[in-house]
Structure 1
């Protein structure tokens, strides 16, 4: 006789860990965020010599406690899902694993414990708690805009690289080793720093011709900054208009039904954003719950 999945301990564990809509799920995620922030603070304090010398044992114990808790959480996440590989090889699964490894690696590699700052990436889960779905949508639009304009950006970067090599070689010939331009690679480095308007000041032209060329490079730098911004902005505006159009059509088509989405997570494929009262996953068709 099969156990009712809704009342099974694994289903309840999945609801606790993956569902941000339930009170228990919200509490779990809030506690998780607290320990993530705590672990990052511990690593930062450990990097301050006079604090580490005075409280090293306390900081080390605190970090071990957090690491063990994250290790248990990682194991429970694997147990709670129907297909563990889906979680293990997902983005969050890899981040969860990497957040637990550094402290254990400290037994074998000195200094690896500093890698626990990777846990900062797990703060992305805050979007589930605060339900900032519209901000996630905006970030997706930005990603799509960058992907759509990747060819133009690559061509632009190639042009910048070619220009840097040409101007760097010219500056090497004009200024020479006596003025700090000891070789072409170093001159190209100076050109890139100048072209991007960073200007570290570690190398500076001394001749009148070199300063004139530098002026041209700096003016070009301001124009170059505007190019990729314009490319991505144009694609972003196009993507935003498309999204607004689709949203308008969706509202028009569903104004009577008033359909909403929630953050319920599928135990089979971990997909989210299902419609309210949905019985099956919109991605894999797995039954979300049993009545």
Structure 2
């Protein structure tokens, strides 16, 4: 009796890829969970190693050991990155995704260090890879809240852009006024310097390296400081209103797409929200 195409076993290559994907991208099995937990430990060790390498009081032997450990970890992460590319049916989608770019950036500083001294300090970007801990620990409720916050930020983008444009206009105007009122003799030597003072004052940072000397300049500075307190609350209010209006209640799955590795799918999703592949 002939076997229907739907009942045929998948090719060995697809089976190996599916198994590799389950271990590397999923955390539902013991092997997958062990892989992810081990990866998290190695990332933490890597960040600590890079941080300790910047300490000047380490002995030469300790510094050499740190360099060797850094290269060993880089080799492990390079192998892991290659395996991630092999585990998905569409490697380019994974390579251009957020975590794909982060994974690549986590490797480049060590290799760039062969040509650019000091580039290894950029390895602290590896700490971004710890964001996977929400999926690894199956904290789906945290993922839902993160998705809700992301949705609110996207919805607030235009309002915040208008707000920043308004702030930028205020900075230019106030900086120009202070340049005319105070002048170079009081430290406001140019328009860029005056606008720098306006930014520092409007944000209520107040470094104190430049300060108005005249009575009129001090009065303007006082008004700018008071205005700064009111401006600081605006972005918070915009995002908060969007969070209140946003009724994003869908649960977020911890599963990753076997084709492009994208996550953040609804609990009842059957197809990938990015590439449309079957989950």
TM-score (norm 1): 0.84
Length, aligned pairs only? 269
Residue 52 (structure 1) shift:
6.5
Match of 2:226 in 1: 219
What residue ranges of structure 2 are gaps of 5+ in the alignment?
1-7
Match of 1:90 in 2: 97
Residue 55, structure 1, aligned to residue 62, structure 2: yes
Which residue of 137, 149, 152 corresponds with 2:144?
Answer: 137
Residue 198 (structure 1) shift:
0.7
Match of 2:208 in 1: 201
Residue 107, structure 1, aligned to residue 100, structure 2: no
Distance 2:200 2:28 in 1: 49
Residue 3 (structure 1) shift:
5.4
Residue 6 (structure 1) shift:
10
Match of 2:155 in 1: 148
What residue ranges of structure 1 are gaps of 5+ in the alignment?
248-259
Distance 1:232 1:53 in 2: 50
Alpha-carbon contact 1:196-1:221 (below 8 Å) kept: yes
Residue 261 (structure 1) shift:
7.4
- Relative to 1, partners in 2 of residues 1:275 and 1:205: Cα closer, same or farther, differing over 3 Å? closer
Could you say what secondary structure the match of 1:44 adopts?
helix
Residue 206 (structure 1) shift:
1.6
Which shows bigger deviation, 5-14 or 62-71?
A: 5-14
Alpha-carbon contact 1:103-1:112 (below 8 Å) kept: yes
Distance 1:120 1:191 in 2: 35
Residue 243, structure 1, aligned to residue 230, structure 2: no
Distance 1:264 1:150 in 2: 28
RMSD in angstroms over aligned alpha carbons?
2.4
Could you say what secondary structure the match of 2:213 adopts?
coil
Which residue of 252, 258, 273 corresponds with 1:267?
Answer: 258
Distance 1:176 1:238 in 2: 48
The CA deviation string for residues 156-205 of structure 1, in whole angstroms up to 9 with x for no partner, is 21121111111111112222222211111101110111001111111111
Match of 2:31 in 1: 24
Which shows bigger deviation, 62-71 or 73-82?
A: 73-82
- Relative to 1, partners in 2 of residues 1:151 and 1:8: Cα closer, same or farther, differing over 3 Å? closer
Residue 143 (structure 1) shift:
2.1
- Relative to 1, partners in 2 of residues 1:261 and 1:194: Cα closer, same or farther, differing over 3 Å? closer
Which residue of 60, 80, 86 corresponds with 1:79?
Answer: 86
Alpha-carbon contact 1:5-1:11 (below 8 Å) kept: no
Match of 2:174 in 1: 167
Which shows bigger deviation, 59-68 or 2-11?
A: 2-11
Match of 2:5 in 1: none
Match of 1:257 in 2: none
The CA deviation string for residues 16-56 of structure 1, in whole angstroms up to 9 with x for no partner, is 11111111111111110111111111111111112265522
Distance 2:226 2:257 in 1: 54
Match of 1:119 in 2: 126
Residue 231 (structure 1) shift:
1.4
TM-score (norm 2): 0.87
- Relative to 1, partners in 2 of residues 1:18 and 1:175: Cα closer, same or farther, differing over 3 Å? same
Distance 2:49 2:206 in 1: 35
Distance 2:166 2:145 in 1: 30
